[in-house]
Structure 1
Amino acid sequence: MSCPVCQKDTDPKYRPFCSRRCADIDLGRWLKGSYVIPGAAQEEDDPAPGPDEARH
């Protein structure tokens, strides 16, 4: 199996990655939202009323 970030052989300690660096790079990609499943955009539900709208 090869590292999904750099394609080097994996290290059992960091599996499926080859190093802590590649594991951190992957985590950063997840946190930034770089991994997205393609599909049609969905409409969002009505947003919660803001402070001005709640008084009406």
Structure 2
Amino acid sequence: MIPSEKKCPICGKPRKAEYAPFCSKRCRDRDLLQWLGDGYALPGPPTFPDIPQDD
């Protein structure tokens, strides 16, 4: 059995070592723009814990 080749998380094409874990500069830049544009978020405590939250 041949080990499966890892794929680019953005487009699914085979990864290239130069841009790992992406396949190209384009996909690497798209991922960076997602982080910079609040497309991705990490869970954490509320920014303003003193403000009551509506439940």
Length-normalised TM-score, structure 1 = 0.67
**Percent sequence identity over matched residues?**
44
2:48 pairs with 16, 20, 44, which one?
A: 44
Length-normalised TM-score, structure 2 = 0.68
1:12 pairs with 17, 21, 26, which one?
A: 17
1:10 partner amino acid: R
Corresponding residue for 2:8? 3
Unaligned stretches of 5+ residues in structure 2: 1-5, 51-55
In structure 2, do the counterparts of structure 1 residues 19 and 43 end up closer, same or farther at CA, with 3 Å as the change threshold? Answer: closer
Q: CA deviation at 1:16?
A: 0.1
Unaligned stretches of 5+ residues in structure 1: 47-56
